[in-house]
Amino acid sequence: MTATADGSTGAVPPRVRAEERDGAPGIRTGTGEQDGPRALAERTSARAVEHLLVRQHDEGWWKGDLETNVTMDAEDLLLREFLGIRDEHTTAAAARFIRSEQRPDGTWATFHGGPGELSTTIEAYVALRLAGDEPDAPHMAAASAWVREHGGVAGSRVFTRIWLALFGWWRWADLPELPPEIIYFPKWFPLNIYDFGCWARQTIVPLTVVSAHRPVHPAPFALEELHRDPACPNPPRPRAAANTWDGVFQRLDAALHTYRRFAVRRLRRAALRDASRWIIERQENDGCWGGIQPPAVYSIIALWLLGYDLDHPVIRAGLESLDRFAVWRDDGSRMIEACQSPVWDTCLATIALADAGLPEDHPALVKAADWMLGEQVVRPGDWSVRRPGLPPGGWAFEFHNDNYPDIDDTAEVVLALNRVRHADPVRVDGALRRAIRWTLGMQSRNGAWGAFDVDNTSPFPNRLPFCDFGEVIDPPSADVTAHVVEMLSHNGHRNHPANRRALAWLLSEQEENGAWFGRWGVNYLYGTGSVVPALVAAGLPASHSSVRRAVSWLESVQNEDGGWGEDLRSYRDPEWIARGESTASQTAWALLALLAAGERNTKAVERGIGFLARTQREDGAWDEPYFTGTGFPWDFSINYHLYRMVFPVTALGRYLRDGVGRGGRDS
């Protein structure tokens, strides 16, 4: 793979050669591949199962680190500086981690091996300035020079410029306007808050409060070195043509700036009061908001601006929740997780261990089932705005997120519980009935499922000048829909009209090359690895043309080392589709699809098993620095540190058991 001048792998990589993997540090060599793929799989699986069992928490859950990028760490320091609570110990630990992530050209990327990213580099640079790094230090000078060359602060995303505006490094007047009166838009009105995806909704409501106040905390230093033209740090943005959607929304933003000057004060005060009530009502029991860091950060700032002091129970609980997102490392550095994934990790680990052959009543599986049963959400959340009569019954992704259970976790938890023989089957049956009823009720009009809401497909939110970063709506996706189809098919609903509609939708979404797009995992390997097992579970024969096209595509994109890999750049550049360094998780996704399609004894599957065996570490795990998960395709990438375990264990187990998992109650 050829490196570009900025240190990234800009050229499309060739298929990875086997010799590039053999003998790499920490990888087992001499694995006895001459013994045959089954013997290899048995040894590899046994070591991996042992490693995964050891990682289970005493309460029954699993949780791997959830790694994103250094904007989480930078914004944590900026929040503490804004509130006046930043301390030297935390600052030094965060700075140590941020420095460790800097690339040779002085920039920071949003995923391992990716190109430098402007906004991420700006925020990391500012955080290091807070930590005392001088602007003329070599690593800082390299970063600021790159920022200037790539547009300066003026070229960064809106959220970065909001953080800078909090300290007077950017003018509030030059940011898009977002009035708190949006809280009053009825749900049928365009751009009401429920037109936004739940993650955006939780962020936008507190930001309306921040936008209304336009606070400025005295800046601890100047940032002229980050402006392309320090004499004109806030250059005007180009105007789009009036007859384009961009032009329409630019003019809408100009109108909102005008409205700010003439807003009725009583209405503005009422909107701020109701926004604060909306925010507080959605604080979780652990103090966080939605179980994710960004809404928590902005909610704390908003409430502080509305007069809630740092000792108020709401603020205090919010700050304590943010401390729980910190991962302290052996080298004294501190990484901030954007969120935590215990429900997701636990259901996937349960499926993996069951499919690897653990008895259905194994203590680890029963303990996991007990914990998952206790996490079922049994009260309405924001999803009930669109489904007011639907009884609750889903699961969330995090420890605490009762407002926003999601369809993906719910489907996988049901599949996990199907695999466990629990001492209280009546309790399990009740939980499954609630979950299936809720899932069926969350189906969108087109027959598919989004992650959190029904028919969250408005075209308008993405057009707002404010929303220039990542997805702000939650349309149905192939991967979530596939997991639901698989779950329903294994729970007596294979021929349910809702399931047949979803199956038809999945078939219509197949790409010409035979793959499916991956919304929540990278990318076509994840989508295809999710959909093919669902099609087979729903009753399609392995000979079906859609299944055969998927198999042909997977075989055609296998790397020369026997594994599969796909870089995040595939979301922007078709040349990167199914190209990248082989990873354990993506290899497992391809194997899961091939095994479901009946390809167990093929050369492609045997080579994939060989890759997993050859690259396994001595402790039974796999190294995987590459990011194979997404929050927003391309814009926000995730390295789930447990993916490298749960998916290979599942794939190896299904290989050893004739290509299928335990499925469900009627499988």
Per-residue model confidence as pLDDT tens digits over 379-405: 999 999 999 999 999 999 999 999 999
Mean pLDDT of 528-555: 97
Q: Are 637 and 628 in contact (CB under 8 A)?
A: no
Q: Give me the residue label for tokens 């602060």.
A: 153
- Tell me the pLDDT band of 231, cut-offs 50, 70 and 90: low
CA-nearest of 367, 459, 511, 468 to 58 is 367
Give the pLDDT of residue 513. Answer: 96
Q: Among 244-253, 268-277, 612-621, whose mean pLDDT is lowest? A: 244-253
Q: Are 116 and 110 in contact (CB under 8 A)?
A: no
Maximum alpha-carbon separation in the chain: 79
Structure tokens at 526: 């994840």
CA distance 397 to 644: 18
CA-nearest of 44, 78, 666, 63 to 347 is 63
Q: Are 66 and 340 in contact (CB under 8 A)?
A: yes
Give the pLDDT of residue 235. Answer: 72
- Tell me the pLDDT band of 260, cut-offs 50, 70 and 90: confident
Out of 402, 408, 409, 479, the active site residue is 408
Give the pLDDT of residue 242. Answer: 63
Give the pLDDT of residue 245. Answer: 63
Examine the residue annotation and report whether 331 is marked as an active-site residue of this protein: no
Structure tokens at 484: 């639901």
Q: Are 532 and 593 in contact (CB under 8 A)?
A: yes
With both helix axes pointing from N to C terminus, report the angle between 643-656 and 603-615 in degrees, rounded to the nearest 10. 130
- Tell me the pLDDT band of 481, cut-offs 50, 70 and 90: very high
Long-range pairs for 319-322: beta carbons < 8 A, 24 or more residues apart: 319/85, 319/287, 320/287, 321/284, 321/286, 321/287, 321/288, 321/296, 322/76, 322/79, 322/288, 322/293, 322/296, 322/297
Angle (CA) 46 329 144, round 5°: 125
Check pLDDT > 60 for residue 11.
Answer: no
pLDDT in tens, 176-211: 888 999 999 999 998 899 999 999 999 999 999 999
Q: Which domains does the chain have, with CATH numbers?
A: 38-64+341-442+477-656 (1.50.10.20), 70-336 (1.50.10.20)
Tell me the torsion sign for CA atoms 309, 314, 318, 319. positive
CB atoms within 10 A of CB 458: 17
- Give the count of alpha carbons within 13 A of 611, CB side only: 32
List helix spans (H) across 106-197.
Answer: 118-130, 138-149, 158-165
Mean pLDDT of 588-601: 96
Mean pLDDT of 133-140: 97
Give the pLDDT of residue 36. Answer: 85
Check pLDDT > 80 for residue 663.
Answer: no
pLDDT in tens, 416-470: 999 999 999 999 999 999 999 999 999 999 999 999 999 999 988 887 777 777 7
Check pLDDT > 90 for residue 661.
Answer: no
Q: Are 546 and 540 in contact (CB under 8 A)?
A: yes
